[in-house]
Structure 1
Amino acid sequence: MDFMRLLKSFEEFLYEIVSWIVFYPVTMWRTIRHPSKLMRYADVELLDDDEDRYSDTLSPPLFLLVTLLIAHGMELGLLRQSVVLPSLLSTDANLLVFRAVSFSIFPLLMALKLLRHAGTQLDRKTLQPPFYSQCYVAAPFALGIDTGINLMRIGAHVPKLAGMAVLTLALIWYVTIETRWFRRDLGISTGRAIFMVVVTILEAAVVVMLSAAIIIYAAAPRAG
């Protein structure tokens, strides 16, 4: 009986992993083509029963995690041999966890800012819908940022220019989508929405850089 239960669990796990091959590109395409629509979809799906949620896409946090895993794989193929990392980030697992937490800061701060300006009380239930919505659009943004940085680090002139272009496009796309989101949900002007988005992105970048600095400091050898 235990063996059959284990076999059934493995069967479900295998199907789930294989289904990502289909639903990951579907989710990425829908996010890039209709980001605002998919963000609303993320909110609505949370109202369904657990087994019925995100039946035709990957769930937002999983989508972000798989995207970061793909970006990590791309870096391994391009640069990993020439990159020196702190000891705490020297393993693939630790580096992937750090990236996942770092890029989750962006949807988290965006969601927190929306709740604060909307006057909504902060708790686990109110934070989840905007955070899930934000995870969808954070994934292409993270992939674009990671790809752009990796291209720039190759060293040749053409990859550097391509990397700068990818970085710029990813940032413009992200700012545009977030501006529309804040403007719609808060009923504010475009100018104020842009200001809120830019400030939030800078805040998230500062948090990520401070976290990286702490890790580097903690991993640095001590004299004596």
Structure 2
Amino acid sequence: MDFMRLLKSLEELLYEILSWLIFYPMTFWRAFTRPLSMMRYADDELEDRPEDQYDDTISPPLFLLITLLLSQALSTAFPSVAPSAEVNALTHSQSNLLILRGVVFGIFPMVMAVTLIRNKGLILTRSTLRPPFFSQCYVAAPFVFLVGLAVDCLLIPADRGLPYAAAIFLGAVVWYGQAEIRWFQRDLGIGGLRATGLFLLAFFVAITVALVVAVGVALELPRWLAPA
């Protein structure tokens, strides 16, 4: 009986993973071309029964995680400057690198979600934070993928990828900014000028926190790797 349950679990796992091959590209395309619609969709889906949620897409946090995983895999195809021994030690563990990417890039949807909650005058709880965070995961995924691509281009030796890195990063910020500004306008019922100000403030906070986390990891890495 236990063996049959194991087979059933493996069957469901295999089906779920293979279904990503269909639903991930669909979700990415919809998030990239219709970000505001996807954020509204994320809100609506949370009102369904758990078994019916995100039936025709990838769930938002999982979508962001898969995107980070693909971005990490893509990075290995790019030539890059020789990293330090500490960076080599960190990147040698793909799981550690994925966790670090998840924490750093997950800051963006979290900060945007908190900004919305605060400006709505709601009490910040897990329940109130969940809907906007899920919405933000959909729009954050294409953004972090493009930012990761820009970083990969930046690390190409002899600065050959610098123009591409600048163009991709600028395009990512413009795309992300217009989506967030429209989101703030819709959900808060405010004008474009105030929505732009909220986005710029939240974006600055997110970048600052992400840099602090990244620098903190870089400073602590030698101590973590030092022999006991």
Is the CA contact (8 Å cut-off) linking 1:64 and 1:139 kept in structure 2?
Answer: yes
Q: Which moved more, 1:78-87 or 1:188-197?
A: 78-87
Aligned partners of 2:65, 2:23: CA distance in 1, in Å? 14
Task: Name the SS for the 1:163 alignment partner.
Answer: helix
Aligned partners of 2:168, 2:80: CA distance in 1, in Å? 20
Task: Name the SS for the 2:133 alignment partner.
Answer: helix
- Residues 164-188 of structure 1 deviation map (CA, whole Å, 9 limit, x = unaligned): 1111111000000000001111111
Q: 1:90 Cα shift?
A: 4.2
Aligned partners of 2:43, 2:59: CA distance in 1, in Å? 11
Structure 2 partner of 1:126? 128
Aligned partners of 1:218, 1:152: CA distance in 2, in Å? 24
Q: 1:14 Cα shift?
A: 0.4
Structural mapping, 1:187-198, within 5 Å: 187-198=189-200
**So what's the TM-score if we normalise by structure 2?**
0.92
Q: 1:142 Cα shift?
A: 0.2
Q: 1:156 Cα shift?
A: 5.3
Letter in 2 for 1:148: A
Structure 2 partner of 1:137? 139
Aligned partners of 2:7, 2:211: CA distance in 1, in Å? 44
Structure 1 partner of 2:181? 179
Structure 2 partner of 1:91? 93
Aligned partners of 1:81, 1:7: CA distance in 2, in Å? 46
Structure 1 runs, 4 residues or longer, greater than 2 Å off: 79-84, 86-90, 155-160
Is the CA contact (8 Å cut-off) linking 1:106 and 1:204 kept in structure 2?
Answer: yes
Q: Which moved more, 1:38-47 or 1:86-95?
A: 86-95
Letter in 1 for 2:184: F
Structure 1 partner of 2:37? 37
- Residues 125-169 of structure 1 deviation map (CA, whole Å, 9 limit, x = unaligned): 111000000000000000010001111211356532122111111
Structure 2 partner of 1:116? 118
Task: Name the SS for the 2:55 alignment partner.
Answer: coil
Letter in 2 for 1:44: D
Letter in 2 for 1:130: P
Q: 1:88 Cα shift?
A: 4.7
For structure 2, list consecutive stretches of 5 or more residues without a partner in the other structure.
none
Q: 1:220 Cα shift?
A: 2.3
Is the CA contact (8 Å cut-off) linking 1:35 and 1:177 kept in structure 2?
Answer: yes
- Residues 30-54 of structure 1 deviation map (CA, whole Å, 9 limit, x = unaligned): 0111111110000000011111000
Structure 2 partner of 1:101? 103
Aligned residues: 222
What percent identity do the matched residue pairs reach?
A: 44
Is the CA contact (8 Å cut-off) linking 1:64 and 1:136 kept in structure 2?
Answer: yes
Q: 1:214 Cα shift?
A: 1.6
Aligned partners of 1:215, 1:158: CA distance in 2, in Å? 28
Aligned partners of 1:14, 1:128: CA distance in 2, in Å? 28
Aligned partners of 1:177, 1:127: CA distance in 2, in Å? 19
Aligned partners of 1:166, 1:216: CA distance in 2, in Å? 25
Q: CA RMSD in A?
A: 1.7
Letter in 1 for 2:64: L
Q: 1:81 Cα shift?
A: 8.0
For structure 1, list consecutive stretches of 5 or more residues without a partner in the other structure.
none
- 2:46 matched to 1:46? yes
